[in-house]
Amino acid sequence: MLSCLLVVLLLLFSGVRNGEVVNATDGGEEFVADEVIVKLRTTQDLASIAAEYSLDPLPLDQFGSRPIFRLRITDNARVEDRVRELDSDSRVALVEPNYITKPPVGGGNTWSVGNTWSVGGDHGTFVSQWAPEKIHLPLAHQVNRGTGPNGPIKVAVLDTGVDATHPALAGHLLPGWDFVDNDNDPSEVGDQQTGPYGHGTHVAGLIALVAPEAKIIPLRVLDRHGVGNVWVLAEALVYAVDPDGNPATADGADVINLSLSTLRETQLIGTLLEKACGSGSSDSQDFPVSTNPYLVVVAAAGNGGDDTRQYPAAENVDGLIAVAASAINDTLASFSSRGSWVHVAAPGQGILSTVPNGQYGTWSGTSMAAPLVAGEAALARARFPLLLNKDLARHVIRMAESIDGDVPFRADAGIALTSDPDGNPAPLPSPTPSSTPTPSPTPTPTPTPTPLPSPTPSPSATPTPAPIKPGRRGHPS
């Protein structure tokens, strides 16, 4: 599992790091030069390992207090050779290059500003475009808009940053972090001619469209060229799950959106996701990330146009939903990755959303499809707060419409919100619901949901929507 070159938009990682900022290069390398990521079986072996393999014994960074280090090669050896040597040492539990992550769209004009109707336009066209109606969003909003028994659902967006000044995002954002420049301002950096500028803002706008009462945690993990690396990605994932480092406080994300993909697996990211979602083996328990078996991760499948597996979407992790892109005519978009490892499609072709400087732009990709599903997952989490992540993900996947193509199901928020987890039409919430228990993230694999201290304010009365007939639905369990 020595790999990780991203091809859609990616994540970086850092839980408010101490030490130097990690910046990726903008060249053609697949990994950061002269660096390796190493997990030792015990910290006491660091000095001897460093001496034997010409590594600087003073780590560039350490992952929490665990024996996981980012180390500098001191003898100009090839990274691949040093990884191979370390991999054969029984004192080393994990070793891989610090892989660089890259967006699939590259540089240049990646979105078209809505100056005229032909390229998109204003807030009105944003909310009335084809995608919301396709997934029956108005029906879903009659049931829930993103607020659960304990308040707004939180969705972390690991991306290029978010323009917090955009009017359409006002009131939707929580404090975040910039893991590229290591500060508390996760704004977009750059311009439209340099990399995928605006990508994170576009993604955030779609989440706000689908789940308008949810809150977004913006985490900048890509530099101005749209490039990051595995170490930064891992740190950002840890932060998203538990921003203040205290598992007893419910400040972590309920849903994580990863509009990114890579052709390579990486042990570090795969193991972190396993533990974070509560599906890890004993090997993952040593990783410094809180476990939340209610956490749902939504990942873009990639824009490869074939069945080549891309990661982290192809990770076999409880609560992870791999998302392809569909077109307006309910067929799989030609550019979308596909295959048995992809769970569901969502609108991803010609999608209008927010871009920097208060503008709107049209973009295509599985990066656009993923946040629509992340928003749906937020609505479903609010609607069904006691479902474990694997069951909530299964519900979103099963409550889908049949479409043509190699990913034969398209997400449908209306069906998901008006059907119970067994696939039957669900009763709508009572106008005066009683206090109900709701889960809180805990550091253990099996947290016990705790009751609320007071009843949740009841929503205003709305006409009872008629559930969509599930005639075309047919996703296997």
pLDDT tens for 310-338 read 989 999 999 999 999 999 999 999 999 99
Active-site residue, 199 included: yes
Task: Out of 159, 163, 223, 254, pick the active-site residue.
Answer: 159
pLDDT tier for residue 147 given thresholds of 50, 70 and 90: very high
Please indicate whether residue 391 is annotated as part of the active site.
no
Place of tokens 């500028």: 197
**Structure confidence at residue 18 (pLDDT):** 35
pLDDT(452) > 60: no
Give the model's pLDDT for residue 31: 85
pLDDT of 281 reads 59
- Mean pLDDT computed over 2-19: 33
CA 99 – CA 293 distance, rounded (Å)? 28
The predicted structure's pLDDT at residue 10 = 34
Average pLDDT over residues 376-393: 97
> Among candidates 311, 283, 282, which has minimal Cα distance to 297?
311
How many Å apart are CA 56 and CA 34, to the nearest integer? 11
Over residues 149-156, the mean pLDDT reads 97
Give the residue among 271, 263, 267, 265 at the shortest CA–CA distance from 310. Answer: 263
> How high is the pLDDT of residue 455?
38
Residue 282 confidence (pLDDT) above 70: no
Average pLDDT, the chain: 81
Give the residue-averaged pLDDT of 18-22.
Answer: 35
Query: Best-predicted range by mean pLDDT among 48-52, 224-228, 256-260, 270-274?
Result: 48-52
What local confidence, expressed as pLDDT, does residue 228 receive? 78
Q: What is the model's pLDDT at position 226? A: 81
Number of C-beta neighbours around residue 400 at 10 A: 26
pLDDT score, position 263: 79
Tokens encoding 285: 């328990």
What six digits make up the tokens of 360? 């709107």
Q: What percent of the chain has pLDDT over 90?
A: 63
Adjacent-strand bridge partners of 466: none
Return the higher-pLDDT residue of 229 and 398: 398
- The pLDDT assigned to 29 comes to 60
Does residue 102 register a pLDDT over 80?
Answer: no
Whether the pLDDT of residue 423 is over 70: the answer is no
C-alpha triplet 100, 105, 110: angle, nearest 5°: 135
Choose the weakest-confidence range: 213-227, 413-427, 446-460: 446-460
- Asked if 367 is an active-site residue, the reply is yes
User: What is the structure's pLDDT at 279?
Assistant: 77
Mean pLDDT (whole number) for 6-26: 33
Residue 21 has pLDDT above 70, yes or no: no
Specify whether the backbone of 409 is left (phi greater than 0), alpha (psi in -120 to 50) or beta.
beta
Of 136, 141, 166, 199, catalytic: 199
The number of C-alpha atoms within 13 Å of 100 and in the hemisphere containing its C-beta is: 20
From the list 267, 264, 373, the residue with the least C-alpha distance to 320 is 373
Catalytic residue among 14, 284, 367, 419: 367
Per-residue confidence band for 286, with pLDDT thresholds at 50, 70 and 90: low
What is the tens place of the pLDDT at every residue in 213-239? 999 999 999 888 887 788 888 899 999
pTM higher than 0.75 for the full model? yes
Whether 24 and 35 have beta carbons less than 8 Å apart is answered as: no
Q: What pLDDT does residue 257 have?
A: 97
Question: What would the mean pLDDT of 58-85 be, rounded to a whole number?
Answer: 92
Dump pLDDT digits (tens) for 157-201: 999 999 999 999 999 999 999 998 989 999 999 888 877 889 999
Confidence of residue 154 (pLDDT cuts 50, 70, 90): very high
Q: Rg of the chain over CA atoms, in angstroms?
A: 22
